[in-house]
Amino acid sequence: MHVNDIPARYGPRVQLVVAEKPSVARDLARVLGVRPTGEHWFAGDGHVITWCIGHLVELDEPAAYDARWRAWRLDTLPMLPPEFRLRPSPHAVAQLRAVTRLLADRRFSSVVNACDAGREGELIFRYVYQYAGGGPPVRRLWISSLTDDAIRKGFAALRPGAQLDALADAARSRSEADWLVGMNATRAVTARGRAAGHTALYSIGRVQTPTLAMLVRREQAIRSFVPRPYWELRGELRTADGGRFTAGWRRGPVARLATAALAQAIAERDTAHGAAADPVGPRVEQLRARTVREPPPLLFDLTALQRTANRRFGFTAARTLEIAQALYERHKLVTYPRTDARHLSSDVARELPALFARLAELPDYAAFAGELVAHPPRPSRRVVDDAKVHDHHAIIPTGLTGATRQIDALDRDARRIFDLIARRFLAAFYPDAEFAITEVWIRVGAAVAGEPPPGFGDAALGPRPPHDDAAAEPAMLDHLPPPPDRYFARGRIRVAAGWQAVAGINAANDRANDRANDRAAADGRGEPEPVLPALVVGQPLSGTFAPLAKQTTPPPRYTEATLLGAMESAGKAIDDEVLRAAMKDAGLGTPATRASIIETLLKRDYLARSQQQLVPTELGIALIDAVPVASLASPELTGAWEARLARIARGQDSRAAFMADIAGYVAELVETVRGSSPPAPTQGSRPGSQPPASPPDPPSPASRAGLQSLAASRASSPRPTNPPAAVGAATELDCPRCHQGALLTGARGWGCARWREGCGFVVWFETAGRRLTAAQLRDLVTRGKTRKARFVSDRGVELDGRLVLDPSAEGGAARLEPVGGG
C-alpha cells in the first residue's frame, strides 16, 4: 500500500504513530485496533503506526562539513561545525525512507512520538523528525509499562511534544558533545602519534576513555603492589560455663604488628596470664549491647539490578539489560528498565494494592504479598518520593494478570531476574531487619591507674580506610607496648528478619553480616563476627593467645558489579546506597549506556574478561599511557558533564552554555596535544599510512599494531590473569597450528593472533626451566626444534636437550627432548 492511499482509505483525520522498534509497534497496534500487517507501517481506522530500528539517522562525518577534515591532520583541528548535519544510518535505509515519507504527508493530523520514554528515545525521534524536514504537530506518549492498560492510559493522556524540549536538548547535547570530544581527541592524539613514526589509532571517547582509565589505574596499582608481611594476635577465650569466642588484639586503632618476634612476645606474656584464676588474667573490661535496625534496600534502578545480578548470578551488565528489556517488551512483566530512579511516584503508589493482590496469586510470593493485602502498608519516603522520580520510576513488577502461566514460560535466567525484581519490590514494604549487637573489650594484665578505657566506635577502633585506596593500609606497631593488652570482639544475632525474609536471606548468612565481614577483611579488623556468649563486666575468662601471620593484599580487580558502581559515582568509592543515589547525576554514562560502554571496551580489545574480573589488556594500558591530556581520562570531568546534561533535561541549565563549554574544552585540548611530545617510535609501526576517515569500530589490525608495539615493552613480565596471546607485538612468524594468524608477543608467552577465534597455540617464555630467546622461538617454529642447550626436566634435573615443536599440544607447544654428546 502506498502512503498516498492511507488517508483516503482510512478517513480524513489520521494520526501517525512512530515507535522505536517493530515489536513495540505491534503492541501499540494490538491496543489501538490496528491490524499489524505491512512491511514498513501498519494502517487502520484513525492510526498509521510505523517504527524506527534504533537510530535511523546519525551525525554526519567531518568531511561533510569541510573537505580539509577528510585527512587526519593536526593543523586542521579543532573540528567545530557551526551546525550539525544528519545522514542516514546504513542499517535501515528503506525504513528511514518510509518514515520520512509518512512524516512529509500533510494529511496526518498529528504524529505521536512513541519511542522509548527516555533521553535516547527522544533523540531517535527528534533526529528522524529533523531529517524529514519536520512534519505534523508532535504529541508524546510517555509510559513506563507496555501492558495494554498502560498503553491505553498513555494514549488517553498524550503530552504536547514541546513539554519534552528540555529532554531533547539534553539528548542532542550528549550526542554532539560525544562527536566533538571523540572525533577531535581521536584525531589529535592519533595524528600526534603518527609524528613519532607509527600508525596506532587511539580510539578515544568522552565516557569510554575515563572508564578504561579507572580500570588501568587499578591494574597499575595491583602490578606495582608489594606485599608486606604483618602479624595479628588471636585470643581463644572461654567462660566458666564452657562458652567460647575469639577476640583480636588491639592497641588503640592498631591491630597489626610489624614482626613475628613482636607478636610472639605479646602472645607469650598473655598466655602466661591466661588462667581465669590469675589476678591479672583475662577480664571483661567493657561491654556494649545494642539493637540496630537495617531498613529494606532501595528499589532497583537498572544499575543496581545489573550489579546485583552480576554478584548473584555472574550475569554481565549487557545480559541483565537484555533480559530486563525482554521482561518489559515481550513478556510485559516489569516496568521500563532503563531507569535511574530508585523510588516510585505518588500516582504509582495508588496502584500498589492491586499489584500486591496480583502478586499474591503467584505461589512464590503469595505469603509475602498476602500479608501486604491483609495489612496495607503506608509507603515511606524511601519508596515513594516524587522529587526523586524524573523520567521513570524504579523497576517493579507489572501486568500480572494471568502471570503464573507467563512466569512458568520464562527461561531460567529471565525467571531469576524477575524474581530479583519481585522480591526487592515486596521487601520494600516490610519492616526493618533487627540485629542484637554485642561488643566487648577483654583486658589481660593489670589496669593502669588513670588510663581511660578504650571505648567503642571509630574513636577507639580507628576509621576504616576507603577500600579503593591501595595506599591507605592500616598502621602497624613496630615496638613492644607495655601491658595491659586488650582484645576486642563483636557478636551479631538477627532477632527480627523483617524484609530479609522476603529477600530469602537467612539468619546465618544475612546480607548485612556479609557486608560487615567484607569490611572486617578489608580493614584488618579480624574474622567474621561471631555469636558471643553471655558476658558481664568484670567477668574472669580463661584464654590462649597465638600470632597469625598475614600479608597485605592489593586492591581487587573490578568486576562488572564494582565497575558499574564506580561508573555510577564517577570513580568515588561510595558504599551507602542513599549517598550513591545522590551522586547518580554525576556518573559516567547513564544506566542505559553503561553496559554498552563495557562491551565496547571488550570488543576493541582494551579489556578482557577473566572469570568474573575485568582486566585491562596491554593494548588498553598503552592507550591510557599515550593520552597526553589528563582530562580526557578523568572520571570527575566526565561526571560533571553528565550532571550538567541531567540539569539541562530538567530545564535547570542551558544547552547553548554547555555546548559552548564543550567547544572551548575541545579547542584547549587540541592546543595541548599540539604542544605535547608524541610517543616514542616503536618497533612494528609503519609510518606514512593514512588513518581511516573516521574511527573504525573496532580498530583495524593494522591500526592496532602501533598500540600493540607500545604494549610489548611491558609484556615481558608474567601476567597470569591475561590470555597468553591477547596483546603484544608481531613476531613476523606465522602460527604453525592454524597457518593463518601471526604470532604475537603476549603477557606470558608467544601466541596466535587468532586466539579469540579458538586457536590455542602458545609457547611460554619460561619453558623447561629456561627463558627462551627470540632466536630459539624462530628455530622452534621454522625448523621444528631448537639447537641444543641446557634445560631443566620435569623432575628438576639439569640436562642437555632441545625443544621440539608439537603444534597441536594444549598448554604449551614446546616439549623437551634430551640429547647426548656435544
DSSP notation for 174-198: HHHHHHHHHHHHHHHHHHHHHTTT-
Q: Of 413-427, 591-605, 785-799, which range is least confident?
A: 785-799
Average pLDDT over every residue of 197-223: 88
Q: Where in the chain is the domain with CATH 2.70.20.10?
A: 229-295+433-551
Residue 724 pLDDT: 36
**CA distances, 44 to each of 17, 28, 138 (Å):** 12, 12, 20
Residue 810 pLDDT: 67
Residue 425 pLDDT: 97
Catalytic-residue membership of 606:
no
CA dist., res. 798 & res. 187, Å (int): 54
Q: Is the pLDDT of residue 523 over 70?
A: no
Q: Is 417 exposed, middle or buried (0-12, 13-18, 19+ CB in 10 A)?
A: buried
Q: The domain 5-174 is classified under which CATH number: 3.40.50.410, 2.60.120.580, 3.30.365.10, 3.40.50.140?
A: 3.40.50.140
Average pLDDT over every residue of 78-94: 93
Angle of helix 22-32 relative to helix 317-329, nearest 10 degrees? 20
| Highest averaged pLDDT of the listed ranges 266-275, 396-405, 585-594, 642-651 | 266-275
pLDDT band at residue 524 under the 50/70/90 scheme: very low
Q: Is the pLDDT of residue 708 over 90?
A: no
DSSP annotation of 651 reads T
Phi, psi for residue 18 in degrees, rounded to 5: -115, 110
Q: Of 320-329, 366-375, 790-799, which range is least confident?
A: 790-799
Residue count of the chain, please give it. 822
Phi, psi for residue 122 in degrees, rounded to 5: -65, -40
| Highest averaged pLDDT of the listed ranges 186-195, 422-431, 635-644 | 422-431
DSSP one-letter string for 247-276:
EEEEBTTB-EES-HHHHHHHHHHHHTT-ST
Q: Are 4 and 94 in contact (CB under 8 A)?
A: no
Q: Is the pLDDT of residue 769 over 90?
A: no
Handedness of CA 142, 147, 149, 152 (dihedral sign): positive
Residue 811 pLDDT: 67
Residue 222 pLDDT: 93
Burial string for 169-201 (b: 16+ CB within 10 Å, else e) reads bbbbbbbbbbbbbbbbbbbbbbbbbbebbbbbb
Total-model pTM: 0.74
Q: Is the pLDDT of residue 505 over 60?
A: yes
Region for residue 512 given its phi and psi (left: phi exceeds 0; alpha: psi -120 to 50; beta: otherwise): alpha
Residue 739 pLDDT: 78
Answer whether CATH 2.60.40.3880 is correct for domain 229-295+433-551. Answer: no
For residue 261, give the C-alpha cell.
618476634
Q: Of 445-454, 483-492, 571-580, which range is least confident?
A: 571-580
DSSP one-letter string for 426-446:
HHTTSPPEEEEEEEEEEEESP
Average model confidence (pLDDT) for the chain? 84
Nearest to 103 by CA among 75, 138, 78: 138
**CA distances, 315 to each of 216, 319, 325 (Å):** 23, 6, 14
Residue 512 pLDDT: 44
Rounded (5°) CA angle 216-220-224: 175
Average pLDDT over every residue of 100-110: 93
Q: Where in the chain is the domain with CATH 1.10.290.10?
A: 302-427
Q: Give the strand pairing for 256-257 and 476-477.
A: parallel
CA dist., res. 785 & res. 112, Å (int): 72
Nearest to 751 by CA among 245, 741, 128: 741
Angle of helix 618-626 relative to helix 701-712, nearest 10 degrees? 90
Nearest to 493 by CA among 245, 186, 167: 245
Residue 730 pLDDT: 54
pLDDT band at residue 4 under the 50/70/90 scheme: low
DSSP annotation of 464 reads P
Q: Which residues contact 578 (CB under 8 A, 6 or more apart)?
A: 298
Average pLDDT over every residue of 436-465: 81
Residue 377 pLDDT: 94
Q: Give the strand pairing for 789-792 and 766-767.
A: unpaired
Residue 570 pLDDT: 78
- Specify the 3-state DSSP secondary structure of 133: coil
- Specify the 3-state DSSP secondary structure of 108: strand
Q: Percent of the chain, pLDDT > 70?
A: 83
Residue 509 pLDDT: 55
Residue 79 pLDDT: 97
CA dist., res. 706 & res. 728, Å (int): 10
Q: Are 659 and 665 in contact (CB under 8 A)?
A: no
Residue 516 pLDDT: 38
pLDDT band at residue 254 under the 50/70/90 scheme: very high
What spatial distance separates the first Cα and last Cα of the chain, rounded to whole Å? 88
Q: Where in the chain is the domain with CATH 3.40.50.140?
A: 5-174
Q: Where in the chain is the domain with CATH 1.10.460.10?
A: 180-224+560-674
DSSP one-letter string for 523-570:
HT--SSP-PPPP--TT-B-EEEEEEEEEE--PPPPPBHHHHHHHHHTT
pLDDT band at residue 513 under the 50/70/90 scheme: very low
Phi, psi for residue 8 in degrees, rounded to 5: -65, -35
Average pLDDT over every residue of 340-352: 90
Given the residues 129, 131, 328, 336, select the one marked as catalytic.
Answer: 336
Answer whether CATH 3.40.50.300 is correct for domain 302-427. Answer: no
Answer whether CATH 1.10.460.10 is correct for domain 180-224+560-674. Answer: yes
CA dist., res. 239 & res. 276, Å (int): 9
DSSP one-letter string for 737-786:
TTSSSEEEE-SSEEEETTGGGT---EEESEETTEEPPHHHHHHHHHHSBP
Burial string for 600-637 (b: 16+ CB within 10 Å, else e) reads bbbebbbbbeeeebbbbbbbbbbbbebbbbebbbbbeb
CA dist., res. 276 & res. 441, Å (int): 16
